[in-house]
């Protein structure tokens, strides 16, 4: 690793720490030439994931977009950003472990619904109403019935 100050090619590692659940390594280094210290980061190189939309379009997977959708579903519900971010991490890891780089948006939506169902049924209904494109109250009632929730 080249020194960021004198551009010498030799340095020694003083300290290494894992970050981002082990997907990033932070290394504190010292240049063998000028003795100045600098920090480097090593990250796993990820092949881009492509999401195949309902209309056949393809777009690069965007974890921020996924998190935003889940946050909207959980708005004013008793959940934390940490919990949702952890769910997004799990979903992304599952997607990256798939055999190919292309994933149908329907599969991603299904994974989100499974996670939200375990977390909060109201958030699940909110997400499902957009994901399944409910057209009327009857479809929402059918979804509630599937969950075993009955109206009074």
Q: Are 10 and 16 in contact (CB under 8 A)?
A: no
- Alpha carbon distance 98, 14 (integer Å): 37
Does the structure show a pLDDT above 80 at 21? no
Dihedral (C-alpha) 133, 137, 138, 139: value to the nearest 10 degrees?
A: 20
Does the structure show a pLDDT above 80 at 2? yes
Choice among 1-10, 19-28, 64-73, 111-120 with the minimum mean pLDDT: 19-28
Between 19 and 83, the more confident residue is 83
Domain ranges of the chain: 11-43, 50-146
pLDDT more than 90, % of the chain: 56
Q: Mark 59-90 as b/e (b = at least 16 C-beta within 10 Å).
A: eebeeeebbebbbebbeeeebeeeebeebbee
pTM value > 0.75:
no
Average pLDDT for 10-20: 91
How much is the pLDDT for 55?
93
The closest of 23, 19, 41, 18 to 93, measured between CA atoms, is 23
How much is the pLDDT for 45?
73
Does the structure show a pLDDT above 90 at 69? yes
Does the structure show a pLDDT above 80 at 7? yes
CB count within 10 Å of CB 3 equals 20
How much is the pLDDT for 100?
87
H helices of the chain, in order, are: 63-73, 81-96, 105-119, 121-131, 137-146
């Amino acid at each position: 690793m080249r020194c960021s100050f004198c551009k010498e090619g030799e340095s020694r590692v003083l300290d290494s720490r894992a970050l981002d659940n082990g997907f990033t390594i932070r290394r504190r280094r010292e240049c063998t030439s000028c003795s100045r210290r600098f920090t480097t980061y090593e990250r796993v190189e990820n092949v881009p994931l492509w999401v195949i939309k309902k209309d056949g379009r393809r777009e690069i997977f965007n974890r921020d977009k996924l998190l935003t959708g889940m946050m909207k579903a959980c708005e004013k519900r008793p959940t934390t950003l940490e919990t949702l971010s952890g769910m997004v991490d799990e979903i992304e890891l599952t997607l990256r472990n798939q055999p190919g780089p292309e994933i149908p948006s329907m599969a991603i939506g299904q994974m989100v619904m499974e996670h939200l169902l375990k977390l909060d049924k109201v958030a699940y209904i909110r997400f499902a109403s957009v994901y399944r494109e409910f057209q009327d109250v009857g479809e929402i009632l059918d979804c509630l019935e599937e969950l075993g929730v009955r109206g009074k």
